[in-house]
Structure 1
Amino acid sequence: MRDIVGLPLPGRLMLAAGLIGFGVISLYFNHLIDGLQPFEAPPWGIRLNAAGLLLAGAGLTWARMAQPAALALWGVLTLLMFAHVPGLIATPGDAVRWVSALQVLGLLSAAMLIAAPGRDDLTRAARMAVGLMLIVFGVVHWLYVGAIAGMIPEWMPGRALWPWVTGAANIAAGLALVTGLMARLASALVGAMFASWIFLVHLPRLLAAPGDRSEWIACALAFALTGVVWTVHRALSRSGEDLQPSVR
C-alpha cells in the first residue's frame, strides 16, 4: 500500500493538459466551456478566455512558472465560483448545476495547493472540498444510472452495474478525503479511475463524434479532474495529514 500511495503522480501536468484542452476547445469552437462557465461572452471575450486558459495550462507545465500561473488561476476560479451562485440559488435541485459548480471548486482547490504549497490549512480545505465534490459525483451516478450506463462502451460487460460501482468508488474516496482516513490512497486510486475513463470512455466517444463540442469538453475535464485529485494527493503526501486517525 505504501508503494501505491508514494507514487509520484503527475497531478500538475494532468491539470495543465485539461486547461490547455479547454483553451483549444474554446478557441476552435468559438465558445465558452459549457457547464464550467455559466454565462455568455462576446467573440473578443471568448478569445480572451481561450488565451487565459492556454497560458494558465502552459504555465503549470513549467515548474518555475507553476506558482504564478496557479495564483492567477486561483483568482479567476474564485470569481467563476461566484458566477455559479445565482443559478444554484434559482434551481437548488438541479444536480447538473451542482456538479458543474463543484468541478470549478475542485479546480480552484488544486490551483490553491499549487499556488501556496505546504500550508496545512489550505491542504485541509482542499481535501474537504474535493472530498465533497467526489461524494456528489457518486450520488449523481446513482441518481442517473441510465445516463451513466449509456456512456459505458458496449464491449464492457455489466454496463448497468458500472454506474453503481463508480458511484460507490467516488463516495468512498470522497468520505476518505473528508474524514482524512486513508486520504492519500483514496486520492491516488480515484485519480487512476478518472485517468482510465480517458481511454475507456472519452477517447472512443470523441473518435466516434469528433465534431461534438461536449465530447471534447468531457475529455479535457477528465484530464483536469485527474489532475485535481492527484494534486491533493501530492499535498497530503507532504503534510502526512491522512496519517491522523481523524480530522484535525
Structure 2
Amino acid sequence: MFAIGLIGLGMLARVFGDFAMVWQPVAPWFPVRTALAYVTGAFEVGVGCGLLFPATRAWAVRILFPGLILWVLLKVPAVVAAPQTEGVWLGLAELTILLSGGWTLFARLAELPERSIFGFAAGERGVRAARMLFGASLPPIGLSHFVYLQATVNLVPPWLPFRAGWARLTGAGQIASGLGVLFNVLPRAAAWAQAAQISIYTLLIWLPVSLVTSYMNLEAVFGQSGRRLPFTALFISWTIAAAAWVVAQNVPRKRVANAEK
C-alpha cells in the first residue's frame, strides 16, 4: 500500500510538473522548481518500485527514510512563521504520519550492518520511536475537525446523516487514538482504529471524488486543480493510511510487550 501511494504521487508529479499541492515541500518562488518536481516524482516512483521487490527493499527504505525527514523539515518554517494557525500543524502532522510509517519500514527492513551509525533508528528502538511520533501526530489532525468544522462537514459524504456529528466524532477519535498510543492505553487497538479510520476517509471521500473527476470536465471549471486536487488528495490519503497500517502492525500485543520487559 505504501509503495503504491508513493508511485501514485510520483506519477502525478511527472504529469503535472509540480509538487503535491498543499502538501508541497517547496515554495512557489523557488528557482528550478518544476525541474525539482520532476526529479522528486522520479524519486518517489523509484523508491516505491524498490519497496515492491525483496532484492531492492533494504536500499529503498534506506533512501526513503531520509527523504521523508527532509519533507517534514521543509514544512517546519511554516509552523515557525505561523504557530498560532492550526492548519500548519495539521499539514505537519500529516507528513509526520508518513514519516512514522517510513521510519517503521526502515527499522524493520533496512538490514543495517552491526554498529551502523544509524543503528539508533533501527530495530525495536526505532519502531518504538516511530510509534511515539505517530501518536503525537494524531491530536493536531483531530483538533482540526473542530477548528475547521464546516470544512470537515463538507467532506463528509452527503448521504450520511448527522454530518456535523460525524465530523466531531472522528476528530475526537483521532485525538483519543493519539493519546492511547502515546500513553500506552490500549495502544494496539488505538493504532488499528486510526489506520482503519484513515482508510475509510480514503475510500468514502477521495476515491469517489477521483472517480467522478475522471468522468467530468472539472478542469474547465476549476482550472488545472480541478484534476489535480482529487487525485493528489487520494494518493496522499492512501499513503497516510498505509503508514498508519505499517505502524499499527508493529504495535505488540500487551502480553508480548510485558514479556519483553
Q: TM-score, normalised by structure 2?
A: 0.81
2:162 counterpart residue number: 158
2:71 aligned to 71, 80, 87, which one? 80
Q: Which moved more, 1:176-185 or 1:202-211?
A: 202-211
2:235 counterpart residue number: 220
Residue pairs, 1:45-194, within 5 angstroms: 45-117=36-108, 119-194=123-198
Deviations along 1:1-53, one digit per CA (max 9) or x if unpaired, are xxxxxxxxxxxxx2112111111111111111123333145332111111001
Letter in 1 for 2:154: G
Whether 2:23 is the aligned partner of 1:19: answer no
Pairwise CA RMSD of aligned residues?
A: 2.0
1:34 counterpart residue number: 21
Greater RCO (CA < 8 Å, at least 6 residues apart): 1
Cα distance, 1:80 vs structure 2: 2.0
Letter in 2 for 1:217: T
Which whole-Å CA distance do the structure 2 matches of 1:137 and 1:74 have between them?
A: 22
Letter in 2 for 1:80: W
Deviations along 1:204-242, one digit per CA (max 9) or x if unpaired, are 2223334431211211112111111111122223xx468
Letter in 2 for 1:98: W
Q: Which moved more, 1:153-162 or 1:78-87?
A: 78-87
Cα distance, 1:158 vs structure 2: 1.3
Contact 2:195/2:248 (<8 A) preserved? no
Which whole-Å CA distance do the structure 2 matches of 1:171 and 1:196 have between them?
A: 17
How many residues end up aligned between the 2 structures? 231
Letter in 1 for 2:143: V
Letter in 2 for 1:138: G
Cα distance, 1:243 vs structure 2: 5.9
The structure with more radius of gyration: 2
Cα distance change on mapping 1:214 and 1:242 into 2, 3 Å: farther
Letter in 2 for 1:203: L
State the 4+ residue runs in structure 1 displaced beyond 6 angstroms.
Answer: none
Cα distance, 1:88 vs structure 2: 1.1
Gaps of 5+ in 1: 1-13
Gaps of 5+ in 2: 109-121, 215-225
Which whole-Å CA distance do the structure 2 matches of 1:123 and 1:102 have between them?
A: 18
Identity of aligned residues (%): 27
Which whole-Å CA distance do the structure 2 matches of 1:68 and 1:29 have between them?
A: 28
Q: TM-score, normalised by structure 1?
A: 0.85
Contact 2:75/2:92 (<8 A) preserved? yes
